[in-house]
Structure 1
Amino acid sequence: MSDSQSILKQAAMQIGAGGSAGFVEVCIMHPLDLIKTRLQLQTNKVSNHSDPHYYNGIVDCFKKMYKHEGMFSYWKGILPPILAETPKRAVKFFCFEQYKKIFLFGSPTPTPLTFSLAGLGAGVTEAILVNPFEVVKVTLQSNKTLAAQMPSTWAVTKEIVRKDGIGFSGLNKGVTATIYRNGSFNMIYFGFYHSVKGYLPEYEDSLKEFLRKLSIGFVSGTLASCFNIPFDVAKSRIQGPQPVAGQIKYRGTFKTIGIVYKEEGFAALYKGLLPKVLRLGPGGAIMLVVYEYAYNFLVMKFN
């Protein structure tokens, strides 16, 4: 087999494993992503606890959504992430492997800096590609009507394009916030996971080794989530419905962070942190472990 064929084969296995990891993760963890978005879109000015769309935390949100919108409301907006996550994770893991080669800086083996910079590069690339899906997903998730009245993903996409186009006011709204969010997340996520995994000794027992990787992945996802959530809050506010129809209040990542901090306090920048950690802690672990096992399976199968 020629070098070019070998490179293409390796890339195909990386893309296949990454896509599998994304699909599994989003199907399991999507309800918590929806809860996170609902909480982030809720301002402190909303204080009517009798309002069926006022959520006093995660449990209350789950209960009210089930009561007023039905069981399937937990998977509102799942089609955009399913459509996005397979290529998104495929691109993320593939790009990470390619950026690793760039950021070796002459070292024979990857260093923690290599892993972190490769993660940053992969996150930025991922953010640019996936942002239109994020805009549609947030629009769907912020819809509080009954599930039976829920518009289709395609209908929402067409409406966004019709009203605002595909530029920075339409399908690419909030792209800078998405870049900050995904870039910072993946920098910590990949940097921590691969650095710590290489430092801690492997187990010969397959179950213990699986749990070792799962634990490191969980900590990686949790740390990255805690670091990048202000950017996530800004992204949700920019891409979600504005407080006053026809007026753009949230525009620009750091300007939006400043507005939220000034009007709602420091804690508001961490709205949705618990569901985010509950999703991306185990979700991050699931992705990394599924990727590694899927990639190793493909290598054994086709090499």
Structure 2
Amino acid sequence: MGCQRPTKKSRGYNTNIGGCLKTKRRMAQTDTLLHLFAGGCSGTIGAIMTCPLEVLKTRLQSSGVTLRPVFQAQLGALSRTRVIRPGTVTPGPLQVLRSILEKEGPRSLFRGLGPNLVGVAPSRAIYFAAYSKSKETFNEMFVPNSGLVHMSSAGVAAFITNSLMNPIWMVKTRMQLEKKARGEKKMNALQCARYVYRMEGVRGFYRGLTAAYAGISETMICFLMYETLKKNLAKNQFISLNGESEKRPSDFLSLMLAAAVSKGCASCIAYPHEVIRTRLREEGSKYKYFFQTGKLIAVEEGYAAFYRGLIPQLIRQIPNTAIVLSTYELIVHLLGDSK
């Protein structure tokens, strides 16, 4: 039974109104905590399961990846004779993976997992809570649950999350780029953070933040597609024969597929910012600013370099996003129904 508006003549008028307001505030706080918890749990599960692929992707994105020399035979323009020209070929994901396993050992595939676990739960929690609250606000400003609402909510949530969590992701990237032979002692997260602070100061923790802001476009595209697909799934699958809302296990598999499709398309469209972000976070590199980095990569390595590491990124991000979003939906569904 909901809160009913009593008449002024009723004895408990003020008490009932105050009780209604307190109940609504309590429900809003509970919903926020629910989204924080669901986002944190889903992010942690996804990070653990896909960490090796993230290390592989980061190595491929960096400027320090070893380029294999090749010699290409070309016909001379005037003499029509063969001219041997030196060149380089970027190693593929399997070659980089083999190199990491041979030179650094299997444990190196989990470099950066510490700060990832420290950061992923609060970052996902912050993101989903901010997304939920932003969507409530934008639903009052625009057409409810429209594409504009979903894109705006995703953009605001990503901006807040990136601003707060960039120092942790900076340390994670530095740890993943650290190359040391098998048996050599490697820096842990705390040592890496101290080193960054000693060498670059507080500003060092915010390297790559401009590229992270550029990556908000990927998040906005992803959530626009996901919410659209989810809305269509809700019309077709979540309605039982008696007209009541009822979710089945197969429905969550459909949500995983929707998340995978959304993230895959968004990653392909907005991927270059990932390469620029990794280059900006490299230690002692020549990359200083977002556009300067993009120009250097284009001039020195060609436009194909903006898509280095895309394959392991898709292999990692698609299942990771599917796991995160479906786990989030499941937790919200289970705990939301139990309230």
* Aligned equivalents of 2:50, 2:164: Cα separation in 1: 21
What is the CA-CA distance between 1:55 and the residue it aligns to? 7.1
Cross-structure match for 1:98: 133
**2:57 is matched with which residue: 36, 43, 51?**
36
Gaps of 5+ in 2: 1-21, 71-88, 241-246
* Aligned equivalents of 2:23, 2:321: Cα separation in 1: 35
Residue 156, structure 1, aligned to residue 192, structure 2: yes
* Aligned equivalents of 2:65, 2:303: Cα separation in 1: 12
Residue 295, structure 1, aligned to residue 332, structure 2: yes
Cross-structure match for 2:35: 14
Cross-structure match for 1:245: none
Residue 80, structure 1, aligned to residue 122, structure 2: no
Residue 144, structure 1, aligned to residue 179, structure 2: yes
What is the CA-CA distance between 1:211 and the residue it aligns to? 2.1
- In 2, are the aligned partners of 1:123 and 1:185 still within 8 Å (CA)? no
Residue 238, structure 1, aligned to residue 289, structure 2: no
The letter for the 2-side match of 1:166 is: V
* Aligned equivalents of 1:234, 1:46: Cα separation in 2: 18
* Aligned equivalents of 2:332, 2:144: Cα separation in 1: 20
Paired residues, what number?
A: 290
Residues 76-122 of structure 1, C-alpha deviation per residue, up to 9 Å, x if partnerless? 11111111100000011111111112222545631111111111111
What is the CA-CA distance between 1:241 and the residue it aligns to? 2.7
Give the structure with higher Rg (CA).
Answer: 2
Residues 127-164 of structure 1, C-alpha deviation per residue, up to 9 Å, x if partnerless? 11111011111111111103542111100101111111
**2:210 is matched with which residue: 154, 176, 182?**
176
The letter for the 1-side match of 2:335 is: L
Cross-structure match for 2:46: 25
What is the CA-CA distance between 1:43 and the residue it aligns to? 5.8
Gaps of 5+ in 1: 243-247
**Structure 1 107/218 Cα, relative in aligned 2: closer, same or farther at 3 Å?**
same
Residues 198-239 of structure 1, C-alpha deviation per residue, up to 9 Å, x if partnerless? 023225682431221111110111112112211110100000
Residue 277, structure 1, aligned to residue 319, structure 2: no
What is the CA-CA distance between 1:278 and the residue it aligns to? 0.8
* Aligned equivalents of 1:7, 1:207: Cα separation in 2: 28
- In 2, are the aligned partners of 1:189 and 1:220 still within 8 Å (CA)? yes
Cross-structure match for 1:195: 228
What is the CA-CA distance between 1:253 and the residue it aligns to? 1.3
Cross-structure match for 1:59: 94
* Aligned equivalents of 1:10, 1:229: Cα separation in 2: 33
Q: CA RMSD in A?
A: 2.0
What is the CA-CA distance between 1:249 and the residue it aligns to? 1.6
TM-score, normalised via structure 1 length: 0.90
TM-score, normalised via structure 2 length: 0.81
What is the CA-CA distance between 1:275 and the residue it aligns to? 0.8
* Aligned equivalents of 1:280, 1:234: Cα separation in 2: 18
**2:169 is matched with which residue: 114, 117, 134?**
134
* Aligned equivalents of 1:295, 1:81: Cα separation in 2: 23
- SS of corresponding position for 1:145: coil
Structure 1 range deviating more: 148-157 or 196-205: 196-205
Q: State, as a whole percentage, how many aligned pairs show the same letter.
A: 26
What is the CA-CA distance between 1:267 and the residue it aligns to? 0.6
Cross-structure match for 2:288: 251
* Aligned equivalents of 2:337, 2:289: Cα separation in 1: 47
